[in-house]
């Protein structure tokens, strides 16, 4: 499974967590580079592994930049580099009142938005993680304005549903989330429910709802070596 190496890397700044930095080799931070307390000379094999991890990190963190129209940097199952688009910042597209689900593309019915909002509230209450959903069609997006609207931090998962370039599911996860959830989960989730065949057949709304439920199931699993190993 290949990731698209982003042309540039832009993410929202997030607040650091007081949680101890217990890092697994299979996890990376989607918001901050991880530095070792002691700098050591790396072997060629170690350098390659480190470079690959950073590339995956850039791809994951770039997914939100794509979704917010800062740059087209999304999780992909092909190779190459996508030309960056002009950033968009349209706060006028934001709703007047706070909501965890923003649908500027019209993919969801009112009933679906309410159900997703209730599920997201349950996730936050049970796990402490904040899931936020933005459905858009680039360039019709509030873009960077959602950072302050949602108070994005290191416990936030921003899920951008945008079918513009094929796969509709794009994610950016905060550093604390990244400690508990394997990065492979997000690519498998995009592969299962975000591929163009799935949402073309079942609809964009079905992809969004399925993804939210899969994230909810994953976040509720006990943290361990096999958590989130299946996309439900």
Domain encompassing residue 175: 88-219
Instruction: Tell me the pLDDT tens digit for each residue of 142-200.
Output: 999 999 999 999 999 999 999 998 999 999 999 999 999 999 999 999 999 999 999 99
The tally of CA atoms less than 13 A away on the side-chain side of residue 183 is 25
Q: Do 169 and 189 touch, CB atoms closer than 8 A?
A: yes
On whether residue 211 sits in a domain, the answer given is yes
Q: How many domains in the chain?
A: 1
On whether residue 95 sits in a domain, the answer given is yes
Compute the average pLDDT of residues 46-72: 41
Pairing of strands 101-103, 130-135: parallel
pLDDT, position 224: 87
On whether residue 190 sits in a domain, the answer given is yes
pLDDT, position 138: 92
Beta strand ranges found along 25-152 (DSSP E): 101-103, 130-135
Instruction: Tell me the pLDDT tens digit for each residue of 73-125.
Output: 333 222 233 344 556 889 999 999 999 999 999 999 999 999 999 999 999 99
3-class DSSP state for residue 14? Answer: coil
Q: How many Å apart are CA 111 and CA 74, to the nearest integer? A: 29
On whether residue 226 sits in a domain, the answer given is no
Instruction: Tell me the pLDDT tens digit for each residue of 219-231.
Output: 999 988 889 999 9
On whether residue 178 sits in a domain, the answer given is yes
pLDDT, position 86: 59
On whether residue 16 sits in a domain, the answer given is no
Extract the tokens encoding 107.
């993919």
Q: How confident is the model at residue 40 (pLDDT cuts 50, 70, 90)?
A: very low
Nearest CA among 31, 66, 34, 64 for reference residue 49: 34
On whether residue 126 sits in a domain, the answer given is yes
The CATH number of the domain where 138 resides is what?
Answer: 3.10.310.50
On whether residue 180 sits in a domain, the answer given is yes
Extract the tokens encoding 46.
């170690």
Give the H or E element holding residue 183. helix 183-193
């Amino acid at each position: 499974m290949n990731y698209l190496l982003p042309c540039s890397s832009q993410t929202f700044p997030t607040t650091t967590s007081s949680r101890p930095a217990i890092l697994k080799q299979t996890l990376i931070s989607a918001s901050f580079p991880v530095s070792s307390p002691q700098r050591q000379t790396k072997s060629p094999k170690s350098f390659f592994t480190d470079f690959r991890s950073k590339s995956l990190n850039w791809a994951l963190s770039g997914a939100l930049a794509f979704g917010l129209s800062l740059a087209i940097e999304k999780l992909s199952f092909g190779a190459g580099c996508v030309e960056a688009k002009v950033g968009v910042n349209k706060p006028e597209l934001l709703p007047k009142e706070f909501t965890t689900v923003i649908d500027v593309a019209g993919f969801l019915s009112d009933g679906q938005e309410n159900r997703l909002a209730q599920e997201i509230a349950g996730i936050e209450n049970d796990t402490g993680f904040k899931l936020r959903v933005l459905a858009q069609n680039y360039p019709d997006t509030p873009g960077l304005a959602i950072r302050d609207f949602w108070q994005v931090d290191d416990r936030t998962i921003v899920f951008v549903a945008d079918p513009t370039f094929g796969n509709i599911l794009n994610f950016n996860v905060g550093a604390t989330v990244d400690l508990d959830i394997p990065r492979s989960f997000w690519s498998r989730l995009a592969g299962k429910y975000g591929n163009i065949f799935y949402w073309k057949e079942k609809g964009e709304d079905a992809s969004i709802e399925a993804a939210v439920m899969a994230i909810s199931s994953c976040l509720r699993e006990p943290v361990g070596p096999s958590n989130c190993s299946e996309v439900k």
